[in-house]
Amino acid sequence: MEASYKGTDKLITGIVFGVITFWLFAQAMVNVVPAVQSDLGVSYGTLNIAISLTALFSGMFIVAAGGLADKIGRKKITYIGLVLSVIGSLCLVFAQGAVLLIIGRIIQGISAACIMPATIALMKAYFDGKERQRALSYWSIGSWGGSGVCSFAGGAIATYMGWKWIFIFSIVFALLAMWLIKDTPESKAEGTGKFTFDYSGLAIFAVTMIALNVFITFGADLGWTSAITILLAVVTIVGAIVFYKVEKKKAIALIDFSLFKNKPYAGATYSNFLLNAIAGTLVVANTYVQVGRGFTAFQAGMLSIGYLIVVLAMIRVGEKILQKVGAKLPMVSGAIISTIGVAIMGLTFLPDFAYTVVVFIGFVLFGLGLGIYATPSTDTSVSNAPSEKVGEAAGVYKMASSLGSAIGVAISATVYSSVAAAGSVETAASVGILVNVIFGVLAILSIVIMVPKTAGKTTEVPAPKTVQTLKKAAN
């Protein structure tokens, strides 16, 4: 049935709703930091960890979940992710302190790890050519656009209904997504043999990422020269080296590094990591306007309404540009525009009205750039992934998103809080945002260097050399 099934708008809608659940519990948290802090009585450091835990655990498990989706079924893994989303959201609804908050955020991270690569793989399995690019543009609306929707909605919900209602809405979207995709046939990679999994690789990767996140988040509090901080840095560096060396030698690895031999795929993935790291801007800007300028959560969310409108409008435009001129031009242009938008948010020396206008314009440019970038980048990664490894490749691509967001948020929040403790919040916000400008510049360079002008054409990856050799011999 899989071979004859063609994707429908109902499937696309269900997938978009599933992706939005991630942004409801991920992005909305950025806007409600003061409210959650006050309600649950947790420290800023604990809350910062809770915010980044979802992206961190998503990043740690997303490749494994993508590979698992290829083996046992992409629809099945999507359903598991949606069930976990409901459970994680319930934990936050009933949270009275740090315990359920932390547990819920971890479960939500694993939920996202299942949903993201499995839904991309379903898109590739049931859509082709321009229809696939159209489907992926809607997926991008749910992903990149969802961040804007949920940033705005989260602030409004927190102000007028209470922040826990965000997660009740998340549960509703998850249940709707399950209903909409229930008639879709299962999709999995062809092949036989016993399923194997790289448990040792996952263990090394998890330890390395946790050490890195704790190092970034608590380094200032512990002291950058303290024994614990130095130990965390050593564990991070040694863990990364060991992981790379061990994984390269394995036939079944957590991350197939051969995927990065494809330069368009590598460029899309690297730039995706860096542009998601810019998510740290949202934490810094939203926290600063509430703490330093006296905005409510709803008012802070209103500042990003321009981002929401523009990113939703431009994603389909990015799709059309992709089809006409390929992926490189919209990817580079989008990254440049987003970086400019982020940069002007750092002008904290401006008076209240002028700064409010500048931040609003900054969010508009941020959304404009990401909207142009989103579909060309996602399509470049998907179209350059081998069919039998599309779930794994999508997992790596989305791992870049999750880890980029986690690391970007952790670094930005740490820089902001460290500078704020030593000086003014205005200076702290400017320095925190400057960090994100650097991420943007690096993203631009990765696209310019690695993505060729021809990327984005609706052609499949060439068959492996061994297959090509057999075909030539047969001819």
What share of the chain in percent tops pLDDT 90? 15
Helix ranges (DSSP H) in 224-279: 227-248, 263-277
pLDDT in tens, 461-474: 444 443 344 344 43
Q: Determine whether 258 is exposed, middle or buried from the number of CB atoms within 10 Å of its CB (0-12, 13-18, 19+).
A: exposed
Consecutive H or E run containing 359: helix 352-383
Whole-angstrom distance, CA of residue 461 vs CA of residue 383: 7
Q: HSE, CB side, 13 Å, CA atoms: give it for residue 155.
A: 25
Q: Determine whether 156 is exposed, middle or buried from the number of CB atoms within 10 Å of its CB (0-12, 13-18, 19+).
A: middle
Q: Which of 189-193, 347-351, 361-365, 441-445 has the lowest mean pLDDT?
A: 189-193
The DSSP 8-state label assigned to residue 462 in this structure reads P
Give the chain's radius of gyration (CA, Å). Answer: 21
pLDDT in tens, 247-296: 877 767 677 777 788 888 889 999 999 998 887 888 888 888 888 888 87
Does residue 51 register a pLDDT over 70? yes
In single-letter form, the type of residue at position 137 comes to: S
Residues 15, 146 contacting (CB under 8 angstroms): no
Closest by Cα among 362, 373, 272 to 314? 373
Region 203-226: what's the mean pLDDT?
78
Whole-angstrom distance, CA of residue 305 vs CA of residue 148: 7
The DSSP 8-state label assigned to residue 260 in this structure reads G
Region 51-65: what's the mean pLDDT?
77
pTM, entire model: 0.71
Whole-angstrom distance, CA of residue 327 vs CA of residue 377: 7
Residue 272 tokens read as 């995706």
Average pLDDT of the chain? 80
For tokens 């999994």, what's the residue? 197
The per-residue b/e assignment along 296-323, b for 16 or more CB within 10 angstroms, e otherwise, is: ebbebbbbbbbbbbbbbebbbbbbebbb
Does residue 218 register a pLDDT over 90? no
